[in-house]
Amino acid sequence: MANIKQQIKRNKQNESARLRNASFTSATKTAIKAVELAVEVGDKDKALNALPLAHKKLDKGQSKGVFHKNFVKRHKSYLAKLINDME
């Protein structure tokens, strides 16, 4: 446990950021899974409707500093490839 006032405050800030980031990461994973599930089932319309939400979550995560830019690019590319490879 920290004894220095500045470090106590920093620990509080880190904890609140961790919770915020965890929540955001979870929502993003859910959006990605929605696209993957639609592709797995073979419903291209549903996948195309879920894709913009996943892209939006990834982009917002990058702008907030939750995700690295290469992580976002990799996942956006992966999701687009999944949909494009559908019949």
The 10s digit of each residue's pLDDT in 20-62 is 999 999 999 999 999 999 999 999 999 999 999 999 999 999 9
Please say if the pLDDT value at position 84 is more than 80: yes
- CATH classification of 5-84, choosing from 3.40.50.300, 1.20.58.110, 2.130.10.10, 1.10.10.10? 1.20.58.110
What torsion do the CA atoms of 58, 59, 63, 69 make, to the nearest 10 degrees? 70
The secondary structure element, H or E, covering residue 65 is none
Please say if the pLDDT value at position 86 is more than 90: no
- Which pTM does this prediction carry? 0.84
Domain range list for the chain: 5-84
Q: Which pLDDT value is given to residue 2?
A: 87
Give residue 65's region: left, alpha or beta (phi > 0; psi -120 to 50): left
* Amino acid in position 5: K
Contact between 86 and 45 under an 8 Å Cβ cutoff? The reply is no
Contact between 23 and 51 under an 8 Å Cβ cutoff? The reply is no
